[in-house]
Amino acid sequence: MRTTISRRSFLGGAAAAVALPRIVPASALGRDGNLPPSERITITMFGVGNRGTSSLQAMRPLPDHQVVAIADCRRDRAELAQRNVHSFYAERVGQQQYTGCEIYNDFREVLERDDIDVVWGCVPDHWHGVVYSRAIEAGKDLYGEKPVTRWIDQGIRIRDMVRQYGCVFQTGTQQRSSTHFRHACELARNGYLGKVHTIYVGAPGGRTYPVEPPCDPPAGFDYDFWSGPAPLIPFDTKRCEWLAMYMISHYCAGFITNWGVHHLDIAGWGCPEVFQEPFEIQGTGVLPTEGMTDTWISWQMDLDWDSGLKMSFTNTGNPNQQGCKFEGDAGWVHANRSGIWAEPASLLTVKLKPDELHLHASPEHSNPYTAHTADFFRSIRTRQDPVAPVEDGHAASALGNVSDISLRLDRRLRWDPRIDRFVGDDDANQMLGRAARSPWTM
């Protein structure tokens, strides 16, 4: 097992200073709100598409990091991100130029570097299990975009490896770093709603894309590498792009998991029974009848726990509003990215007492992505769990994938999160994973 104890413990060493200009300005020495090089968290970005670019932007206001490597099998994306990184750090250290960020096609080369503390995983869902597991084995801390993995069996292994290797893992469910989502969950957890009996979750639905004619990948795009563990299907101009790749089951379970995980995560944060106890699930859904996509356009799922707790999980407007709503016998609260609502309205002004449960609070920031990032950086230094630990990330991801499996089998299933298995259904358990294309196994 490889470790980077010295970097994790002290964030020291000369490697972080190599990328700095020979004439070092005061800001690089730790003044003007910046940390000296030996104390900065060194980061490699794996994937700099839509999510990777957003992550880079979220880091910019924070002083305690340095992006030193980028890996992406699309050369144009890697070069654009590299230019943005160089421009930002040149401005930060007061130089006209900065050249301390290298680009790679193959992420495995980056993992061999001992001067890197953190892997920032923004690769497509079908890569999560492979990339995350190899980063953990290399002794890196990890920010892992959601869902934790494409397949439940992979998520089990990532969850267990995080604890085995002592990795700090922040799941990219950044809603936990939003104050109104936290407030909604604290109301539910502290009994302000009475006994919570029903949870309503709504997430954006899917869509179809027509079949595109095969063609050659553009110059600088290693499509074989992009496909990785997924089947190698002839390239076309849409399947690797946002949003089509999220609607193709080889790469993603669709928005029932990829987007659903955000609000399913809030459901479990506000009511831990959702993550911890067995439930039965059944529902209906609509799949595309033509085109290249094969994940759910719409769905209506009913989840039932032995205690009597119920959850309705649908795509937005079918009929649930987007977000997560906790309903109890004394009131309700509903939160989404636009705001928070409650009945009675006085719940919105509740101030928790010192002896009540206060959920993990990320550092205050107007942008939840930046707050989520700052929380992760804090956890790297303290070696304490971040606001979105891997266990909850896996449980929330599994809820979406369990929904997908129930719909595809078109029958009621019983899921037991204590053993990560369906009870009494071998066919369903066979769908917890899928064989990967060589050599991209975990």
Summarize the confidence of residues 273-285 as an average pLDDT: 98
Q: Is the peptide bond before 243 cis (omega within 30 degrees of 0)?
A: yes
Q: Return the DSSP state at 221.
A: B
Same domain, 134 and 186: no
Same domain, 111 and 237: no
CATH number assigned to the domain comprising residue 323: 3.30.360.10
Instruction: Identify whether 366 is part of a domain.
Output: no
Of the candidates 115, 144, 175, which is a domain's last residue?
175
pLDDT in tens, 82-134: 999 999 999 988 888 889 999 999 999 999 999 999 999 999 999 999 999 99
Of the candidates 123, 153, 175, which is a domain's last residue?
175
In this structure, of 7-16, 73-82, 216-225, 238-247, the range with the lowest mean pLDDT score is 7-16
Q: Which of 167, 165, 177, 125 is nearest to 142 (CA)?
A: 167
Domain hosting 344: range is 177-352+390-430
Other beta carbons within 10 angstroms of residue 92's beta carbon come to 18
Number of structural domains (the chain) is 2
Partners of 280 in beta bridges: 304, 414
Q: Which of 146, 226, 107, 130 is nearest to 434 (CA)?
A: 130
Instruction: Identify whether 227 is part of a domain.
Output: yes
Same domain, 96 and 229: no
- For residue 32, pLDDT beyond 90: no
pLDDT in tens, 140-153: 999 999 999 999 99
Residues 6+ away with beta carbon under 8 Å from 181: 175, 266, 269, 324, 335, 340
Q: What is the pLDDT of residue 93?
A: 84
Same domain, 58 and 68: yes
Helices (H), 106-210: 107-111, 128-137, 152-165, 179-189
CATH number assigned to the domain comprising residue 25: 3.40.50.720
Instruction: Measure the N-to-C terminal CA separation of the chain; round to a whole number of Å.
Output: 15
Summarize the confidence of residues 385-389 as an average pLDDT: 98
Same domain, 248 and 146: no
Average pLDDT of the chain to the nearest whole number: 93
